[in-house]
Amino acid sequence: MNTQRQRPLAIGPLRAFEAVARRLSFSAAAEELFLTQSAVSRQIRALEEELGATLFHRGTRHVALTADGQLLQSTVSTLLERLDGTVRQIRQSRGRRVVNVTTFASFASLWLIPRLEAFQRDHPDMDIRVSAHDQLVDLEDSEIDIALRYCQPRGVPPSAQRLFGEVLTPVVSPWMAGQAAAGQVPPLNTAADLRLHTLAEEDDQRPSGLFLSWRRWLAERGQPEMQPRRWMYLNFTYQQVQAAVSGQAVALARLPLVADALQRGELAEPFGAAGRIGAPTVYWLMLSHQGRARPEVMEFARWISGQAALTRQAIGESEPAPAQD
Protein backbone atom coordinates (compact mmCIF):
# COMPACT_ATOMS: atom_id res chain seq x y z
CA MET A 1 0.00 0.00 0.00
CA ASN A 2 1.22 3.50 -0.84
CA THR A 3 1.25 5.14 2.61
CA GLN A 4 1.94 8.54 1.07
CA ARG A 5 -1.61 8.68 -0.28
CA GLN A 6 -3.13 8.03 3.14
CA ARG A 7 -1.98 11.39 4.50
CA PRO A 8 -4.41 14.33 4.77
CA LEU A 9 -4.10 16.76 1.87
CA ALA A 10 -2.41 20.10 2.47
CA ILE A 11 -4.73 23.12 2.25
CA GLY A 12 -2.45 25.18 -0.03
CA PRO A 13 -2.72 22.94 -3.11
CA LEU A 14 -6.47 22.58 -2.53
CA ARG A 15 -6.94 26.34 -2.60
CA ALA A 16 -4.85 26.57 -5.77
CA PHE A 17 -6.94 23.77 -7.30
CA GLU A 18 -10.23 25.51 -6.39
CA ALA A 19 -9.10 28.77 -7.97
CA VAL A 20 -7.98 27.10 -11.22
CA ALA A 21 -11.16 24.98 -11.36
CA ARG A 22 -13.35 28.04 -10.86
CA ARG A 23 -11.49 30.31 -13.27
CA LEU A 24 -10.36 27.54 -15.70
CA SER A 25 -7.12 29.47 -16.04
CA PHE A 26 -3.77 29.02 -14.33
CA SER A 27 -2.82 32.64 -14.92
CA ALA A 28 -6.12 34.02 -13.56
CA ALA A 29 -5.85 31.77 -10.50
CA ALA A 30 -2.25 32.90 -9.92
CA GLU A 31 -3.33 36.56 -10.06
CA GLU A 32 -6.17 35.91 -7.61
CA LEU A 33 -3.89 34.08 -5.16
CA PHE A 34 -0.98 36.55 -5.54
CA LEU A 35 1.29 33.76 -6.76
CA THR A 36 3.24 33.17 -9.93
CA GLN A 37 1.70 30.94 -12.57
CA SER A 38 4.56 28.46 -12.17
CA ALA A 39 3.91 28.26 -8.41
CA VAL A 40 0.25 27.43 -9.05
CA SER A 41 1.25 24.82 -11.63
CA ARG A 42 3.64 23.20 -9.15
CA GLN A 43 0.92 23.02 -6.48
CA ILE A 44 -1.51 21.41 -8.92
CA ARG A 45 1.10 18.84 -10.03
CA ALA A 46 1.89 18.04 -6.38
CA LEU A 47 -1.82 17.56 -5.68
CA GLU A 48 -2.24 15.26 -8.68
CA GLU A 49 0.75 13.19 -7.56
CA GLU A 50 -0.68 13.00 -4.03
CA LEU A 51 -4.04 11.81 -5.38
CA GLY A 52 -2.66 9.66 -8.15
CA ALA A 53 -5.11 11.25 -10.59
CA THR A 54 -5.13 13.87 -13.35
CA LEU A 55 -7.36 16.81 -12.42
CA PHE A 56 -7.13 19.00 -15.54
CA HIS A 57 -6.98 18.58 -19.29
CA ARG A 58 -4.32 21.10 -20.24
CA GLY A 59 -4.61 22.55 -23.74
CA THR A 60 -2.61 25.24 -25.48
CA ARG A 61 -5.20 27.93 -24.82
CA HIS A 62 -7.66 26.35 -22.44
CA VAL A 63 -7.98 24.29 -19.27
CA ALA A 64 -10.78 21.83 -18.53
CA LEU A 65 -11.59 19.66 -15.53
CA THR A 66 -11.35 15.90 -15.81
CA ALA A 67 -14.03 13.70 -14.25
CA ASP A 68 -11.83 13.34 -11.14
CA GLY A 69 -11.34 17.10 -11.10
CA GLN A 70 -15.09 17.73 -11.21
CA LEU A 71 -15.59 15.30 -8.33
CA LEU A 72 -12.93 17.01 -6.24
CA GLN A 73 -14.24 20.50 -7.06
CA SER A 74 -17.74 19.66 -5.78
CA THR A 75 -16.27 18.95 -2.34
CA VAL A 76 -13.44 21.46 -2.16
CA SER A 77 -15.55 24.50 -3.05
CA THR A 78 -17.95 23.83 -0.16
CA LEU A 79 -15.09 22.94 2.18
CA LEU A 80 -13.20 26.18 1.57
CA GLU A 81 -16.36 28.29 1.80
CA ARG A 82 -17.13 26.83 5.22
CA LEU A 83 -13.52 27.17 6.32
CA ASP A 84 -13.39 30.83 5.30
CA GLY A 85 -16.71 31.49 7.03
CA THR A 86 -15.43 29.93 10.25
CA VAL A 87 -12.24 31.97 10.08
CA ARG A 88 -14.28 35.16 9.66
CA GLN A 89 -16.40 34.24 12.67
CA ILE A 90 -13.31 33.61 14.80
CA ARG A 91 -11.80 36.93 13.77
CA GLN A 92 -15.08 38.72 14.43
CA SER A 93 -15.42 37.11 17.85
CA ARG A 94 -12.09 38.65 18.83
CA GLY A 95 -13.21 42.11 17.72
CA ARG A 96 -16.67 43.61 17.22
CA ARG A 97 -19.70 41.39 17.66
CA VAL A 98 -21.43 40.65 14.34
CA VAL A 99 -24.79 38.98 13.68
CA ASN A 100 -25.38 37.67 10.15
CA VAL A 101 -29.02 37.71 9.03
CA THR A 102 -30.59 36.42 5.83
CA THR A 103 -34.09 37.35 4.69
CA PHE A 104 -36.03 38.27 1.55
CA ALA A 105 -35.74 41.73 0.06
CA SER A 106 -39.24 43.04 0.83
CA PHE A 107 -39.07 41.98 4.48
CA ALA A 108 -35.69 43.64 4.85
CA SER A 109 -36.84 46.88 3.19
CA LEU A 110 -40.28 47.23 4.79
CA TRP A 111 -39.94 45.59 8.22
CA LEU A 112 -36.40 44.90 9.40
CA ILE A 113 -34.25 47.83 8.26
CA PRO A 114 -36.62 50.59 9.50
CA ARG A 115 -36.35 49.05 12.99
CA LEU A 116 -32.59 48.49 13.05
CA GLU A 117 -31.67 52.07 13.97
CA ALA A 118 -33.33 51.68 17.37
CA PHE A 119 -31.56 48.38 18.02
CA GLN A 120 -28.14 49.66 17.02
CA ARG A 121 -28.61 52.81 19.09
CA ASP A 122 -28.99 50.57 22.15
CA HIS A 123 -26.23 48.16 21.05
CA PRO A 124 -23.40 50.30 19.68
CA ASP A 125 -20.89 47.45 20.01
CA MET A 126 -22.87 45.08 17.76
CA ASP A 127 -22.96 45.05 13.95
CA ILE A 128 -25.84 43.56 11.96
CA ARG A 129 -25.04 42.20 8.51
CA VAL A 130 -28.22 41.74 6.41
CA SER A 131 -28.14 39.55 3.31
CA ALA A 132 -31.39 40.24 1.45
CA HIS A 133 -32.31 37.97 -1.46
CA ASP A 134 -34.97 35.40 -2.33
CA GLN A 135 -32.58 32.45 -2.52
CA LEU A 136 -32.83 30.23 0.56
CA VAL A 137 -29.58 29.69 2.44
CA ASP A 138 -28.70 26.46 4.24
CA LEU A 139 -28.27 27.65 7.81
CA GLU A 140 -26.02 24.75 8.74
CA ASP A 141 -23.78 25.16 5.71
CA SER A 142 -23.03 28.88 5.86
CA GLU A 143 -21.93 31.67 8.19
CA ILE A 144 -25.53 32.88 8.62
CA ASP A 145 -26.79 33.13 12.22
CA ILE A 146 -30.47 34.01 11.74
CA ALA A 147 -32.93 33.49 8.90
CA LEU A 148 -36.19 35.45 8.70
CA ARG A 149 -38.34 33.53 6.25
CA TYR A 150 -41.83 33.44 4.79
CA CYS A 151 -43.60 30.18 4.03
CA GLN A 152 -46.36 27.84 5.13
CA PRO A 153 -45.91 25.91 8.41
CA ARG A 154 -45.10 22.65 6.63
CA GLY A 155 -42.00 24.27 5.12
CA VAL A 156 -40.11 25.01 8.36
CA PRO A 157 -38.14 22.88 10.86
CA PRO A 158 -39.57 22.12 14.34
CA SER A 159 -37.29 24.70 15.96
CA ALA A 160 -38.65 27.62 13.89
CA GLN A 161 -40.28 30.43 15.84
CA ARG A 162 -43.50 31.90 14.49
CA LEU A 163 -43.33 35.69 14.30
CA PHE A 164 -46.75 36.54 12.87
CA GLY A 165 -49.22 35.41 10.25
CA GLU A 166 -50.16 36.98 6.96
CA VAL A 167 -52.96 39.48 6.35
CA LEU A 168 -53.57 41.21 3.01
CA THR A 169 -55.26 44.57 2.59
CA PRO A 170 -55.74 47.10 -0.25
CA VAL A 171 -53.76 50.29 0.33
CA VAL A 172 -53.47 53.65 -1.42
CA SER A 173 -51.77 56.95 -0.76
CA PRO A 174 -53.65 59.29 1.62
CA TRP A 175 -53.81 61.76 -1.28
CA MET A 176 -55.65 59.26 -3.47
CA ALA A 177 -57.99 58.34 -0.63
CA GLY A 178 -58.81 62.00 -0.07
CA GLN A 179 -59.28 62.68 -3.78
CA ALA A 180 -61.61 59.69 -4.09
CA ALA A 181 -63.67 60.87 -1.10
CA ALA A 182 -63.92 64.34 -2.63
CA GLY A 183 -64.96 63.01 -6.04
CA GLN A 184 -61.77 64.26 -7.74
CA VAL A 185 -60.80 60.73 -8.82
CA PRO A 186 -62.97 57.60 -9.24
CA PRO A 187 -64.49 56.38 -5.96
CA LEU A 188 -63.04 53.67 -3.73
CA ASN A 189 -66.06 52.58 -1.74
CA THR A 190 -66.62 49.01 -2.95
CA ALA A 191 -64.63 46.25 -4.64
CA ALA A 192 -66.45 47.02 -7.90
CA ASP A 193 -64.94 50.53 -7.88
CA LEU A 194 -61.49 49.02 -8.50
CA ARG A 195 -62.41 48.58 -12.17
CA LEU A 196 -61.71 52.32 -12.52
CA HIS A 197 -58.23 52.14 -10.94
CA THR A 198 -54.75 50.73 -11.61
CA LEU A 199 -53.94 47.66 -9.52
CA ALA A 200 -50.35 46.81 -8.61
CA GLU A 201 -49.90 43.04 -8.80
CA GLU A 202 -46.92 40.87 -7.83
CA ASP A 203 -45.48 39.30 -10.97
CA ASP A 204 -45.44 35.77 -9.52
CA GLN A 205 -46.64 32.89 -11.69
CA ARG A 206 -46.09 30.21 -9.04
CA PRO A 207 -49.19 28.53 -7.52
CA SER A 208 -48.22 29.96 -4.11
CA GLY A 209 -48.54 33.44 -5.59
CA LEU A 210 -52.31 32.96 -5.87
CA PHE A 211 -52.74 33.49 -2.13
CA LEU A 212 -51.27 36.99 -2.46
CA SER A 213 -53.04 37.97 -5.68
CA TRP A 214 -55.74 40.46 -6.50
CA ARG A 215 -57.58 37.62 -8.29
CA ARG A 216 -58.12 35.85 -4.99
CA TRP A 217 -59.13 39.07 -3.20
CA LEU A 218 -61.58 40.02 -5.96
CA ALA A 219 -63.06 36.51 -6.07
CA GLU A 220 -63.71 36.63 -2.33
CA ARG A 221 -65.43 39.98 -2.82
CA GLY A 222 -67.75 38.64 -5.52
CA GLN A 223 -65.81 40.17 -8.44
CA PRO A 224 -63.95 37.16 -9.97
CA GLU A 225 -64.11 38.48 -13.56
CA MET A 226 -63.49 42.15 -12.88
CA GLN A 227 -60.73 43.87 -14.87
CA PRO A 228 -59.19 47.10 -13.56
CA ARG A 229 -58.41 50.13 -15.68
CA ARG A 230 -54.92 48.66 -16.01
CA TRP A 231 -52.55 46.22 -14.29
CA MET A 232 -49.11 47.18 -13.03
CA TYR A 233 -46.98 44.04 -12.64
CA LEU A 234 -44.00 44.34 -10.27
CA ASN A 235 -41.40 41.85 -9.03
CA PHE A 236 -41.35 42.61 -5.32
CA THR A 237 -43.78 43.52 -2.58
CA TYR A 238 -41.90 46.70 -1.66
CA GLN A 239 -42.26 47.90 -5.27
CA GLN A 240 -46.04 47.55 -5.03
CA VAL A 241 -46.01 49.54 -1.79
CA GLN A 242 -43.92 52.25 -3.45
CA ALA A 243 -46.46 52.41 -6.30
CA ALA A 244 -49.23 52.93 -3.75
CA VAL A 245 -47.30 55.55 -1.74
CA SER A 246 -46.64 57.54 -4.91
CA GLY A 247 -50.33 57.45 -5.93
CA GLN A 248 -49.76 55.37 -9.05
CA ALA A 249 -51.82 52.32 -8.08
CA VAL A 250 -53.85 50.47 -5.48
CA ALA A 251 -51.65 47.77 -3.95
CA LEU A 252 -52.73 44.59 -2.20
CA ALA A 253 -50.23 44.95 0.62
CA ARG A 254 -49.02 42.52 3.26
CA LEU A 255 -50.38 44.16 6.40
CA PRO A 256 -47.52 43.08 8.74
CA LEU A 257 -45.08 44.88 6.43
CA VAL A 258 -47.08 48.13 6.08
CA ALA A 259 -48.71 48.42 9.51
CA ASP A 260 -46.19 51.07 10.56
CA ALA A 261 -46.71 53.05 7.36
CA LEU A 262 -50.47 52.98 7.97
CA GLN A 263 -49.97 54.24 11.53
CA ARG A 264 -47.71 57.06 10.28
CA GLY A 265 -50.30 58.08 7.70
CA GLU A 266 -48.11 57.24 4.71
CA LEU A 267 -50.72 54.78 3.44
CA ALA A 268 -54.47 54.38 3.84
CA GLU A 269 -56.85 51.40 3.70
CA PRO A 270 -59.74 52.50 1.45
CA PHE A 271 -61.96 49.64 2.65
CA GLY A 272 -60.75 49.65 6.25
CA ALA A 273 -60.54 46.42 8.23
CA ALA A 274 -63.37 45.00 6.10
CA GLY A 275 -60.96 44.79 3.19
CA ARG A 276 -58.52 42.47 4.97
CA ILE A 277 -58.12 38.76 4.19
CA GLY A 278 -55.80 36.13 5.63
CA ALA A 279 -53.36 33.77 3.93
CA PRO A 280 -51.77 30.43 4.93
CA THR A 281 -48.25 31.82 4.80
CA VAL A 282 -46.37 32.78 7.98
CA TYR A 283 -43.27 34.81 8.91
CA TRP A 284 -40.65 32.80 10.83
CA LEU A 285 -37.40 33.22 12.75
CA MET A 286 -34.84 30.41 12.46
CA LEU A 287 -31.50 30.10 14.24
CA SER A 288 -28.46 28.23 13.00
CA HIS A 289 -26.63 25.80 15.28
CA GLN A 290 -23.62 28.10 15.59
CA GLY A 291 -25.88 31.10 16.15
CA ARG A 292 -27.51 29.48 19.20
CA ALA A 293 -24.11 29.33 20.89
CA ARG A 294 -23.42 33.05 20.57
CA PRO A 295 -24.94 35.47 23.15
CA GLU A 296 -25.17 38.38 20.68
CA VAL A 297 -27.20 36.27 18.24
CA MET A 298 -29.63 35.23 20.95
CA GLU A 299 -29.89 38.85 22.09
CA PHE A 300 -30.78 39.98 18.58
CA ALA A 301 -33.26 37.10 18.22
CA ARG A 302 -35.01 38.19 21.43
CA TRP A 303 -35.22 41.73 20.08
CA ILE A 304 -36.77 40.44 16.84
CA SER A 305 -39.33 38.51 18.90
CA GLY A 306 -40.21 41.68 20.81
CA GLN A 307 -40.67 43.64 17.59
CA ALA A 308 -42.81 40.82 16.21
CA ALA A 309 -45.09 41.09 19.26
CA LEU A 310 -45.69 44.76 18.39
CA THR A 311 -46.53 43.81 14.81
CA ARG A 312 -48.99 41.17 16.01
CA GLN A 313 -50.73 43.83 18.07
CA ALA A 314 -50.84 46.18 15.08
CA ILE A 315 -52.50 43.61 12.83
CA GLY A 316 -54.87 42.33 15.51
CA GLU A 317 -53.12 39.00 16.10
CA SER A 318 -52.90 38.60 19.85
CA GLU A 319 -51.41 35.15 20.38
CA PRO A 320 -47.73 34.85 21.29
CA ALA A 321 -45.09 33.46 18.95
CA PRO A 322 -44.56 29.83 19.99
CA ALA A 323 -42.03 27.44 18.50
CA GLN A 324 -43.59 25.40 15.70
CA ASP A 325 -44.26 21.79 16.74
Confidence of residue 324 (pLDDT cuts 50, 70, 90): very low
CATH annotation of 3-92 = 1.10.10.10
**pLDDT of 35:** 83
166-197: per-residue pLDDT in tens?
999 999 999 999 999 999 999 999 999 999 99
Is pLDDT above 90 for 143? no
> Do 69 and 47 touch, CB atoms closer than 8 A?
no
Q: Rounded distance, CA 75 to CA 67, Å?
A: 13
Was domain 96-325 assigned CATH 3.20.20.150?
A: no
The better pLDDT of the pair 289, 5 is held by 289
Confidence of residue 91 (pLDDT cuts 50, 70, 90): low
Enumerate residues 6+ apart whose C-beta is below 8 A from 163.
Answer: 148, 282, 283, 284, 285, 304, 305, 308, 311, 321
CB count within 10 Å of CB 283 equals: 23
The better pLDDT of the pair 193, 77 is held by 193
**Mean local confidence (pLDDT), 31-50:** 88
Give the CA distances from residue 294 to residues 86, 97, 298, 305, in Å, rounded to whole numbers and listed in that order: 13, 10, 7, 17
Q: Rounded distance, CA 76 to CA 268, Å?
A: 53
pTM above 0.75, yes or no: no
**Annotated domain spans of the chain:** 3-92, 96-325
Q: Rounded distance, CA 298 to CA 292, Å?
A: 6
| Number of Cα atoms under 13 Å in the Cβ half of residue 322 | 5
For strands 198-202 and 126-132, give the pairing: unpaired
**Mean local confidence (pLDDT), 305-325:** 78
Confidence of residue 322 (pLDDT cuts 50, 70, 90): very low
| Secondary structure class of 131 (helix, strand, coil) | strand
Q: Rounded distance, CA 139 to CA 142, Å?
A: 6
121-141: per-residue pLDDT in tens?
999 889 999 988 877 777 776
**pLDDT of 325:** 37
212-268: per-residue pLDDT in tens?
899 999 999 999 999 999 999 998 899 999 999 999 999 999 999 999 999 999 999
Is pLDDT above 60 for 323? no
The overall average pLDDT reported for the chain is 88
266-283: per-residue pLDDT in tens?
999 999 999 999 999 999
For strands 161-171 and 250-254, give the pairing: antiparallel
Q: E strands of 43-157, at which residues?
A: 56-58, 63-65, 97-103, 126-132, 146-151
Q: Rounded distance, CA 314 to CA 277, Å?
A: 15
**pLDDT of 321:** 45
**Mean local confidence (pLDDT), 47-56:** 91
